[in-house]
Amino acid sequence: MTEDIKNKLLMCAEIYHCAGFIESDPVQFPHRYTLKQDIEISGLLTAIMSFGNRKQIRKKAEELHGLMGDSPYRYVLSCRWKDDFPAGAKNSFYRMLSYDDFYGYFQRLYTAYSCFDSLEEALNVYTGIPMEKLCAFLEVSAKSPQKKLNMFLRWMIRRDSEVDFGIWDSFDQKDLIVPLDTHVCRVAHYLNLTDSETFSLKNARQITVALAEVFPDDPCLGDFALFGLGVNGEI
């Protein structure tokens, strides 16, 4: 990596890694809460919905949070979600995510909070890096890039951030993998951080390793630089 590219990434991370990032990003929803469990639940479900048009994401996330009310944690424990998201209901809640899908998410969260104080504690019964633990909990493949889940993990684990929460102390931000979306992939390829524009876990890892050259203790800080450059059309 050239010094010019390193300097550009450092400069852009400083520009885009700020509180102003929150207002147009799905991370705004968990920022409504202060209780750890509320942040975890809001963050996970919002991240899972974070694909497609950003306006539509915010609209449906608003609807979901309207149902969960002042405390997603109390909502989960109350089991009201069984009425709002009936088991077996295959009609769409958001794009290809059905009401039954959300029933499944809430069921997993209910089980986790019935046994543990936090989702962080629940994930620590699994082995591997943070992404592998979360994939095991949700029973999804840990061999795909899992952009939405890696974004959620960034929110929970990255410390000293105006955007991310850093409330999971038992996880290391060095173990995070960059959330691989269209902007990040394209800009990373343009800057020669990767030799491919494919949406694969291998490519996400390659980009993360490249960012670690610039941000050795916090490679996902570079996510803000790549995303900002892409979404604002600078590259």
Query: Over the stretch 43-94, which tens digit does the pLDDT of each residue have?
Result: 999 999 999 888 999 999 999 999 999 999 999 999 999 999 999 999 999 9
pLDDT tens column, 84-99: 999 999 999 999 999 9
Predicted model pTM: 0.95
Note the pLDDT of residue 104. 98
Q: Using 50, 70 and 90 to split pLDDT, how confident is the model at 235?
A: low
Residue 47's closest CA among 61, 36, 68? 61
Do 46 and 61 meet the contact criterion of CB atoms below 8 Å apart? yes
Distance (Å, rounded) from C-alpha 19 to C-alpha 31? 11
Per-residue model confidence (pLDDT) at position 53: 87
Cα–Cα distance for residue pair 158/176, rounded to 1 Å: 9
Confidence tier at 128 by pLDDT (50, 70, 90): very high
Q: What is the pLDDT of residue 231?
A: 74
